[in-house]
Amino acid sequence: MWRAWLLARVLLLLAAALVVTRCTERQVHVTGASGPIVWQVTDFRIVARSVQGIPRALYTFTLVIQETQGTAMTFQQVVSRLTHPSISTLPQQSSVLWQLRPYGELRQPFAFPLCATDACKQAAAMAPWSLDLALLGTDTRLQPLRVVIHTGLPNAPAAPFLSSAATREDGPGPIPFETVQNHIMVRAVLNEQEYATLLLDTGAGQTFVTPETAQRLGLSPAADTPPRTTTVVGGRQVKVPMARLTTLAIGNARRDNVPVGVLESFPRAPLFDGILGGSFLEHFTITLDYPRSRLWLVPRGPPFTPSMV
């Protein structure tokens, strides 16, 4: 009798292990293919941001899509939906202009607010979220395209403290970048502790961070540092208070003691933390590979020719 009980117990444990394994596989299954597109969901983070003036925790990630058959594509709409067994959600539809070159790559950021109520948080902890994406557009022959992506989302960590060893790499790159409406965005680490998304602007003479980013870093303009006059979008000149970052790292490119202006650059875009401008970029030679969404920042010196492999 006890043997039958023991056998039943072992089978039950194996079944439980199988369920856990399947759940884990679902959580980490973040790559796939859909027609001429291969895709990957990566760079999962939980970040604290202000959304319409209200502090929220956002689940952020990057969608990487690559064309595999030598056909140019343009996507005009994205329909996205987070789904959960216990939580009711609604699809979101966005108008975009994503141009994917033949054999090219695009990296696009996404962000979804996390649960705000205790009941929602408790339900979310019991099962993983899933993500459904539909990318709608046309190819070079103006034939309609529909790329469907379905994936489970793993638990994302909050941005951890990063040591200098963790943010430094050997060689000049490449550094992946993301694009939003033809603007280039790069991931940065500020003061070796705070992840940030900066808009690369080679025409900006100064690097800026938003007041919210400065607050998270504990930055405050020194009393003896006068504000600096700068030109913002629309040609308007404003006086910007100045502070200094101990370190600013973009992939393997790093500078210490970087002056930054504190400016509310993107009041309606909570994931933009500032502008990467001349006070950082002037120390590097910049090379961009748009089809592959890659960036090289090489310290000023002998010329460098990147390998486009």
Distance CA 59, CA 61 (A): 7
Does residue 228 sit in the same domain as residue 206?
yes
Look at residue 1 and tell me if it is in a domain: no
Task: Considering only residues 137 and 174, tell me which one the structure prediction assigns the higher pLDDT.
Answer: 137
Does residue 98 sit in the same domain as residue 148?
yes
Instruction: Identify the pLDDT of residue 268.
Output: 62
Look at residue 22 and tell me if it is in a domain: no
Look at residue 159 and tell me if it is in a domain: no
Mean pLDDT for the stretch of residues 25-33: 63
Q: Which residues contact 291 (CB under 8 A, 6 or more apart)?
A: 101, 103, 104, 105
Other residues' Cβ atoms within 10 Å of the Cβ of residue 58: 18
CATH of the domain at 136: 2.60.40.1470
Look at residue 274 and tell me if it is in a domain: yes
Does residue 173 sit in the same domain as residue 133?
no
Task: Considering only residues 57 and 68, tell me which one the structure prediction assigns the higher pLDDT.
Answer: 68
Domain boundary pick from 152, 178, 199: 152
Instruction: Identify the pLDDT of residue 26.
Output: 36
Task: Considering only residues 11 and 152, tell me which one the structure prediction assigns the higher pLDDT.
Answer: 152
Does residue 228 sit in the same domain as residue 126?
no
Does residue 135 sit in the same domain as residue 191?
no
pLDDT tens digits, 64-94: 999 999 999 999 999 998 888 888 888 889 8
To the nearest whole number, what is the mean pLDDT of the chain? Answer: 77
Q: Which helix (H) or strand (E) holds 136?
A: strand 130-139
- Domain around 142: 30-152
Number of domains in the chain: 2
Does residue 123 sit in the same domain as residue 185?
no
Does residue 49 sit in the same domain as residue 142?
yes
Does residue 90 sit in the same domain as residue 210?
no
CATH of the domain at 169: 2.40.70.10
Instruction: Identify the pLDDT of residue 246.
Output: 93
pTM (2 d.p.):
0.67
pLDDT tens digits, 167-188: 344 455 688 888 877 788 898 9
Look at residue 291 and tell me if it is in a domain: yes
Q: Which residues contact 57 (CB under 8 A, 6 or more apart)?
A: 46, 47, 48, 113, 114
Domain boundary pick from 152, 177, 194: 152
Helices and strands, counts by H and E, the chain: 5, 20
Does residue 137 sit in the same domain as residue 258?
no
Does residue 226 sit in the same domain as residue 246?
yes
Domain boundary pick from 111, 132, 152: 152
Asked if residue 55 has pLDDT above 50, the reply is: yes
**Strand ordering across the sheet containing 175-176:** 175-176, 294-299, 284-289
The percent of residues in the chain predicted with pLDDT above 90, rounded, is 20
Mean pLDDT for the stretch of residues 98-113: 88
pLDDT tens digits, 209-235: 988 889 888 888 766 677 877 765 556
Task: Considering only residues 103 and 266, tell me which one the structure prediction assigns the higher pLDDT.
Answer: 103
pLDDT tens digits, 247-303: 999 988 999 999 999 987 666 666 788 999 888 999 999 998 888 888 999 988 654
